Chains A and B, each alone.
With several copies, the nearest count.
Chain A
Amino acid sequence: MAETQNLFSNLQHSRDAVCRADGLACARGAITVFEGVSFSLAAGQALCLRGANGSGKSSLLRQLAGLLPAAAGTLTHPDPAYGTHYLGHADGLKAALTIAETLAFDAALAGYRADNDAYADIAARLGLAGCDWQFVGDLSAGQKRRLTLARLIMDPRPLWLLDEPMTALDAAGRALVTDLAEAHLENGGMIIAASHETLDFADEEVLLEPRR
């Protein structure tokens, strides 16, 4: 995490934070997608959501981010507005901005401004070339995905919600995600990720079984 230390001196998250679900249920439209999901996560732990296609992993992540209300059960989690990163299927990138402009916006949403060298550093760390002229709309699928990781680096928040974090990434990209995740866990962060692949950084799993 050498480069990011220029921005944040290895910020430690509170060791008391928890993220817990108790008998959680999720309704989409008229359908109950899952029911009775419970888990508990303490600082420094990572959880991998598993389940067949359509079993409600993405929906659960949106519930944790406060974007989707719970149909039943209770959720305890950090205040999403300060404590949560949510990386979903939609990447929130603007095709008409350059990489540097995108990073500057990320910085501003984190409440600060850095100089161009810092942005170039971060882009290099993410394996992206042409920081100050490459338009985001021209990036390849994996390059876009890498760019979204910048948010995790630039804005330290305790809870990361990652929906299929390995999508479109090559081997180096996967290693990058794993590195970031491990450093985050060491600093006392929490991660909940949905994936169909094995995630090296996750120590626990929750299996969502579709209600039939």
Chain B
Amino acid sequence: MLKALENISAFYANPTRFMALARQVHRPLWALAIGVLAYGLYRVAYVPADYQQGDSVRIMFVHVPAAWMSLFGYSFIFIASVTALIFRHPLGHVAARAAAPVGAVFTLLALITGSLWGQPMWGTWWVWDARLTSVLVLFFIYLGYIALWQAIDEPTRAARAASILAIVGFINVPIVKFSVDWWNTLHQPASVSRLARPALHADFLYPLLIMGAGFLVLFLALTLTRMQMEVLRQRLRARAPKGEPPHV
């Protein structure tokens, strides 16, 4: 099984083969993403209003999947960077770089929808709650990662620096999460409490899972498209004869 995986990965280490695969996959992937999301939104529209929260409960169907994707995105970057740095898989850097802005946008979406939800629920846009704070810090880690990519013009150098940061940053994420939890449970005043969360009713659960699946496919589709762009950009760069612009 592992051997097979290794073979597949070695096969697609060649960017040309990857591009051929991507060309075949990317349309179906986008179609799937749009389809699942559309079906999910349709289900969300028919979810009954919550007895406590009214219609604002519908934010949940964007917020929670976005929050999941923020975590998934960073794990994705980490795995891609390890692949690139340790196993020298050439597509690793491409994948990591492509996924970063996508993950950052999902993180921002989680933050914004959370704030929008927080206003009716808690009467405030923001609290220094453990979970919220760790998402904010995660967002900064994303920003630092993207900024590093952009700040270094030379691609190979930028790639190495960024993968070092991705790996070290990944170790940091659980540490932040754990420390923030402790910080907050010790000192969070009882007056600000998160909404009591009853076990999720199936009416809510299934649409949520569908939306989650939709977001996941959307993430993959966006990342794949950005990877294709990245490979094309690198090719143009490499093919540019001397005297022609190396970047497009």
Known: A29-B154, A30-B237. A129 touches B246 (CB 8 A): no
Residues of A within 8 A of B237 (CB): 30
Question: Does A29 lie within 8 Å of B155, measured CB to CB?
Answer: yes
Quick check: is B245 within 8 A (CB to CB) of the other chain? yes
Partner of B246, one of A31, A137, A210, A212: A31
Partner of A133, one of B155, B238, B246: B246
Q: Which of A136-155 contact B (CB under 8 A)?
A: 137-138
Q: Which of A110-159 contact B (CB under 8 A)?
A: 129-130, 132-133, 135, 137-138
Residues of B within 8 A of A28 (CB): 154
Main secondary structure of the interface of B (DSSP, over half): loop
Q: Which of A18-53 contact B (CB under 8 A)?
A: 28-31
Q: Which of B219-237 contact A (CB under 8 A)?
A: 237
Quick check: is B247 within 8 A (CB to CB) of the other chain? yes
Quick check: is B240 within 8 A (CB to CB) of the other chain? yes
Tell me the complex Cα distance, A211–B243, Å.
11
How many Å from the CB of A131 to the closest CB on chain B? 9
Residues of B within 8 A of A130 (CB): 242-245
Question: Does B245 lie within 8 Å of A133, measured CB to CB?
Answer: yes
Residues of A within 8 A of B245 (CB): 130, 132-133
Number of A-B residue pairs having CB atoms within 8 Å of each other in the complex = 29
How many Å from the CB of A2 to the closest CB on chain B? 21
Residues of A within 8 A of B242 (CB): 31, 129-130, 210-212
Question: Does A30 lie within 8 Å of B240, measured CB to CB?
Answer: yes
- Write the chain A residue with the least CB distance to B236: A30
Residues of B within 8 A of A31 (CB): 242, 246
Question: Does B247 lie within 8 Å of A133, measured CB to CB?
Answer: yes
Quick check: is B6 within 8 A (CB to CB) of the other chain? no
Tell me the complex Cα distance, A23–B243, Å.
24
Interface centre among A31, A129, A132, A137 (most CB of B within 10 A): A31
- Write the chain B residue with the least CB distance to A137: B153
How many Å from the CB of A156 to the closest CB on chain B? 29
Tell me the complex Cα distance, A80–B154, Å.
25
- Write the chain A residue with the least CB distance to B241: A212
- As a 0/1 sequence over residues 118 to 137 of chain B, the CB contacts with chain A under 8 angstroms (1 = contact) are 00000000000000000000
How many Å from the CB of A110 to the closest CB on chain B? 27
Question: Does B153 lie within 8 Å of A135, measured CB to CB?
Answer: yes
Residues of A within 8 A of B238 (CB): 30
Question: Does B153 lie within 8 Å of A30, measured CB to CB?
Answer: no
Residues of B within 8 A of A212 (CB): 242
Tell me the complex Cα distance, A24–B49, Å.
70
Q: Which of A81-111 contact B (CB under 8 A)?
A: none
Residues of A within 8 A of B243 (CB): 129-130
Residues of A within 8 A of B244 (CB): 130
Tell me the complex Cα distance, A111–B13, Å.
46
Tell me the complex Cα distance, A135–B152, Å.
12
Residues of B within 8 A of A133 (CB): 245-247
Residues of A within 8 A of B247 (CB): 30, 133
How many Å from the CB of A121 to the closest CB on chain B? 15
Q: Which of B143-173 contact A (CB under 8 A)?
A: 153-155
How many Å from the CB of A55 to the closest CB on chain B? 12
Tell me the complex Cα distance, A130–B243, Å.
5
Q: Which of A155-212 contact B (CB under 8 A)?
A: 210-212
How many Å from the CB of B132 to the closest CB on chain A? 37
- Write the chain A residue with the least CB distance to B245: A133
How many Å from the CB of B75 to the closest CB on chain A? 30
Interface centre among B238, B240, B242 (most CB of A within 10 A): B242
Q: Which residues of A pack against B, CB within 8 Å?
A: 28-31, 129-130, 132-133, 135, 137-138, 210-212
A-B contact pairs, 26 of them (CB 8 A): A28-B154, A29-B153, A29-B154, A29-B155, A29-B246, A30-B155, A30-B237, A30-B238, A30-B246, A30-B247, A31-B242, A31-B246, A129-B243, A130-B243, A130-B244, A130-B245, A132-B245, A133-B245, A133-B246, A133-B247, A135-B153, A137-B153, A138-B153, A210-B242, A211-B242, A212-B242
Q: Which residues of B pack against A, CB within 8 Å?
A: 153-155, 237-238, 240, 242-247
Per CB-CB distance, the 6 closest pairs between chain A and chain B, nearest first, are A133-B245, A30-B246, A30-B237, A129-B243, A29-B154, A212-B242
